[in-house]
Amino acid sequence: MTVLAAIAVLGLLIAVHEAGHFTAARLQGIHVNNFAIGFGPVLWSYQGAETLYALRAIPLGGYVGFPDDDPDSEIEKDDPDLFKNRPLLDRAIVISAGVIANLIFAYLVFVAQYTSVGVPEGINYEPGVLVPQVVSQEAPAAQAGIRAGDIITAIEGEDLGEAQGAIQTLQETIANSPNEPLEITVLRGDRQFDFTVTPEVSDSGDALIGVQLFPNGEPVYRRPNGVGEVLKFAAQEFQSKTVLIVQGFITLITNFSEMADQVAGPVRIVEQGAQFAQNDLSRLFPFTAIISINLAIINILPLPALDGGQLAFLLIEGLRGKPLPNRLQENVMQTGLIVLLGLGIFLIVRDTTQLAVFQDFFQ
């Protein structure tokens, strides 16, 4: 059920993104002849007055189609409401509307979270430190056998306890033991395991084992004191998460060789979403918002086949006073699409082979 919920979240965010493009086009009177969520075989379709709406089998993308280059379209080529015949600003609004829609939706998700779940008031701590993610399969923790979802309860025989300082104690012990084996006790479900992990020294000189750490405990919520408090908390959370995600992308770009293993495809995203929702479906709220912000930032990157790439073409058109030749634009976009599809397939295969269920099968 949690896996289906995570897949539904991905499909919803794609629908929001494409709805942004579609709405921006229709509000300006621009012709749209296709609106599709997903790829592959058509599961459902409806022919509207001008637009064919379709739901397809693979919820990993979508598109809004314009009749500009449709040879079967009955619309005249010089129609001012064709997308390509509209001013630069109109087209820029349509192209960027998907990103804007995802950002607005992320904020509204936080609003819904604080309205329905409540505002945070602390954490009921439980023994140990939660490992929400292992950064790569080559990390010392992964090589030793530690998995996402494990709870580290002791290191070098010292219980971490259930206080807020458990993470600090764990981090300090790891930092003070570069290249030295450490005995780590882990709770996985109702079973306890002991692993030997040797921290590696990163390029920055820090001793790391390659995991994210999070307090082990259940957050405590209270009812919000009115709409104003909900909007304030949602804005603060939206801002903090957006800044962290942008910083993460900058780190990824500037240190790609070290951070490449952290790039997640749809399989890993669904796996992480299922882990978040396993014990508490309310955790799908922050998961949804964070993925929506990620989707917005990825799409605004100036890469071919993404919204940012199309905006780059518009910028060049504005500087030149005329668009680049259609043939050149098509070749660049097709090349970009092939690269992105290849990357997507690679990530799906890689992440699938790294699933715990898949690994257990071959052990």
For the ranges 162-171, 225-234, 323-332, the one whose mean pLDDT is highest = 225-234
Pick the closest to residue 149 from 221, 198, 211, 218 (CA basis).
211
Q: Is the pLDDT of residue 273 over 60?
A: no
Same domain, 30 and 131: no
- Final residue before a domain boundary, out of 199, 222, 245: 222
| Assigned domain for 326 exists | yes
pLDDT at 268: 54
| Catalytic residue list contains 18 | yes
Domain count for the chain, please give it: 2
Q: Is residue 38 within 8 Å of residue 55, measured between CB atoms?
A: yes
Per the structure, the complete domain to which residue 27 belongs is given by 2-115+293-361
Q: Is the pLDDT of residue 354 over 60?
A: no
pLDDT at 78: 85
Same domain, 6 and 82: yes
Same domain, 10 and 52: yes
Q: Is residue 34 within 8 Å of residue 54, measured between CB atoms?
A: yes
Same domain, 141 and 106: no
pLDDT at 275: 58
The catalytic position among 18, 76, 156, 271 is 18
Q: How many helices (H) and strands (E) does the chain have?
A: 11, 10
Pick the closest to residue 305 from 28, 61, 29, 7 (CA basis).
61
pLDDT at 291: 85
pLDDT at 237: 92
pTM across the whole model: 0.75
Same domain, 95 and 162: no
Same domain, 9 and 107: yes
In the DSSP assignment, the letter for residue 191 is: E
Same domain, 19 and 65: yes
Same domain, 80 and 125: no
Q: How many other β-carbons are positioned within 10 Å of the β-carbon of residue 224? A: 17
The CATH number of whichever domain residue 133 belongs to comes to 2.30.42.10
Same domain, 312 and 356: yes
Same domain, 62 and 140: no
Same domain, 132 and 111: no
Q: Which two tokens stand for residue 292?
A: 């929506």
Tokens 């750490």 label which residue?
213
pLDDT at 90: 95
| Assigned domain for 55 exists | yes
| Three-state DSSP state, 134 | strand
* pLDDT > 90 in the chain, percent: 29
Q: Phi and psi at residue 156, in whole multiples of 5°?
A: 55, 35
- Final residue before a domain boundary, out of 222, 253, 275: 222
